[in-house]
Amino acid sequence: AQKVTQAQTEISVVEKEDVTLDCVYETRDTTYYLFWYKQPPSGELVFLIRRNSFDEQNEISGRYSWNFQKSTSSFNFTITASQVVDSAVYFCALVEDFGNEKLTFGTGTRLTIIP
């Protein structure tokens, strides 16, 4: 069965520091998708990125970057030069296959950026 582990429950960093959120996944499928969602204090889950299992290229979007490594089953998320607005709970999630598109979530990492 699929599983997503976010070992870091809470992280606090001072503003402008870089921070990496870890995500390790387990799946028996060769085709799968990985996601990151952000949950700000307002409560809704905001989609950040989707990555399929055939694309191991790292991705950068502004201050956000993602490192996908199939060899270690990890999909880590780095925020560079953190800002107070980055404070939120971040969830990593997995979808295993077409036709069964339910997201399997990790327990989330609460990130606090200290001004």
Partner 1 sequence: EAGVTQFPSHSVIEKGQTVTLRCDPISGHDNLYWYRRVMGKEIKFLLHFVKESKQDESGMPNNRFLAERTGGTYSTLKVQPAELEDSGVYFCASSQEAQGRINEQFFGPGTRLTVL
Closest approach, Cβ 33 to partner 1, in A, equals 5
Taking CB under 8 A as the criterion, the residue among 7, 14, 47, 84 binding partner 1 is 47
Burial class (CB in 10 A: 0-12, 13-18, 19+), 95: buried
Taking CB under 8 A as the criterion, the residue among 67, 103, 110, 112 binding partner 1 is 103
Distance separating alpha carbons of residues 58 and 87, to the nearest angstrom: 23
Binding mask 48-77 for partner 1 (x = CB under 8 A): --x-x-------------------------
Closest approach, Cβ 72 to partner 1, in A, equals 21
Burial class (CB in 10 A: 0-12, 13-18, 19+), 71: exposed
Phi, psi dihedrals of residue 34, rounded to the nearest 5°: -120, 145
Rule CB under 8 A: is residue 44 a binding residue for partner 1? yes
